[in-house]
Amino acid sequence: MGRPPCCDKEGVKKGPWTPEEDIILVTYIQEHGPGNWRAVPTKTGLSRCSKSCRLRWTNYLRPGIKRGNFTEQEEKMIIHLQDLLGNRWAAIASYLPQRTDNDIKNYWNTHLKKKLKKLQTDNNSEGNFEDEKFSSSSSQRIPRGQWERRLQTDIQMAKKALSEALSPQKPISSNFSSSMSSNIKEQPHQSICYASSADNIARLLKGWMKNPQKSSKSSLTQNSFNNFVVSAGTDTASSGTKCGEYLSETFESLFGFEPLESFESSNSEFSQSLSPDHASTILQDESKPDHIANEMPFSLLEKWLLDEASCPDKNSVRLW
């Protein structure tokens, strides 16, 4: 009955990944790029199912992942996006370039849910506003106007993505389209991208020598990110800066606060990594589209929110 488990075979290892397994996986992906996960266990000799390999890569080993505490801005952004999109963690993660959907989901479940609940109880005396807000989080009760707008946004995004995809010169820049094109591998760029992973592994190994217990947990990905970002852009200042500025403005206009610390502090890093060359390389090459920093979704969202702002009555589930 039902679908058999993807990896119920004997000898398939489960549980936490060892550093050695990480190295094997990263080395393989460095050579072949992410994708074709089915082949990964057999080709690497890992006793893991393909799913496990993909998950390990996308949630942990993939370059560009930021770990550690969420900033206040990130928090607000998650809450806002969760409000708009519901529990579509992958979609939410696409607006937080350095966070994985799993991270965001975990953070929501462990921190933000409680926080909102607390807010809700605190505000109970002032009416049911938070009640409404909180229950809307389950995406069960999306106000009609909001749902329509959401649908409209999706359609607009799809249209734009399509037109971009049909335009051969233009780099694919939209969240949507890069997601759609995430399987298109641009081999010539991969060396840039995955070399950084190899480097990270080297650093990681150093870390393990120093700190065998913890290093596998923290050093890899942070180093991955730093290293990745450094390798991603040093010669792209002008376009990167422009993009960074745009992001800053958009963030501010979209969420009403200063850009994410990560964006700002790594302006020289992250924004540089967003140059047409590097960003498209980095983002499209990954199995999970990090694309995020692309203009289109933000501008659409911004427009959407501005529309909402002009109809405040429909904007009843705004927290901030």
Partner DNA sequence: AACCCGCTCAACCGCGGAGGG
Partner DNA sequence: GCCCTCCGCGGTTGAGCGGGT
The span from the CA of 153 to the CA of 96, in Å, is 19
- Judged by CB under 7 A, the residue of 27, 44, 71, 102 near DNA is 102
- Using the minimum distance from each CB to DNA, give the nearer residue, 11 or 127: 11
What is the smallest separation between the CB atom of 18 and DNA, expressed in angstroms? 8
Q: Which of residues 136-165 bind DNA (CB under 7 A)?
A: none
Q: Interface with DNA by CB under 7 A: which range of 46-54, 203-211, 237-245, 276-284?
A: 46-54
Our finding on whether 38 is near DNA (CB under 7 A) is yes
Least distance from C-beta 48 to DNA, angstroms? 7
Assess 42 for contact with DNA (CB under 7 A). no
* 211 near DNA, rule: CB under 7 A: no
- Quick check: 199 binds DNA (CB under 7 A)? no
Q: Which is nearer to DNA, 73 or 137 (CB)?
A: 137
The 3-class secondary structure across the chain, one letter per residue, is: CCCCCCCCCCCCCCCCCCHHHHHHHHHHHHHHCCCCCCHHHHHHCCCCCHHHHHHHHHHHHCCCCCCCCCCHHHHHHHHHHHHHHCCCHHHHHCCCCCCCHHHHHHHHHHHHHHHHHHHHHHCHHHCCHHHHHHHHCCCCCCCHHHHHHHHHHHHHHHHHHHHHHHCCCCCCCCHHHHHHCCCCCCHHHHHHHHHHHHHHHHHHHHHHHHCCCCHHHHHHHHHHHHHHHHHHCCCCHHHHHHHHHHHHHHHHHHHCCCCCHHHHHCHHHHHHHHCHHHHHHHHHHCCCCCHHHCHHHHHHHHHHHHHHHHCHHHCCCCCC
> Shortest approach of DNA to residue 14 CB, angstroms?
3
CB of 106 to DNA, least distance (A): 4
Q: Which of 19, 71, 111, 314 binds DNA (CB under 7 A)?
A: 111
Binding mask 256-295 for DNA (x = CB under 7 A): -------------------------------xx-------
Q: Does 50 bind DNA (CB under 7 A)?
A: yes
Tell me phi and psi for residue 235, to 5 degrees. Answer: -110, 25
135 is an interface residue for DNA by CB under 7 A: no
Q: What whole-number distance in Å separates Cα of residue 142 and Cα of residue 87?
A: 12
If binding is defined by CB under 7 A, does position 129 make contact with DNA?
no
Distance CA 225, CA 270 (A): 10
Q: How far is the CB of 151 from DNA (least distance, A)?
A: 15
The answer to whether 220 contacts DNA (rule: CB under 7 A) is no
Number of residues that bind DNA (CB under 7 A): 47
Instruction: Tell me how far CA of residue 64 lies from CA of 143, 174, 221, 312, in angstroms.
Output: 35, 18, 8, 37
Binding DNA (rule: CB under 7 A), the pick from 41, 81, 84, 89 is 89
Task: Compose the 229-248 pattern: x for residues touching DNA by CB under 7 A, - for all others.
Answer: --------------------
Q: Name the residues that contact DNA, by CB under 7 A.
A: 2-3, 5-7, 13-17, 35-38, 48, 50-52, 54-56, 58-60, 67, 87-91, 101-103, 105-107, 109-111, 179-180, 182-183, 213, 217, 287-288
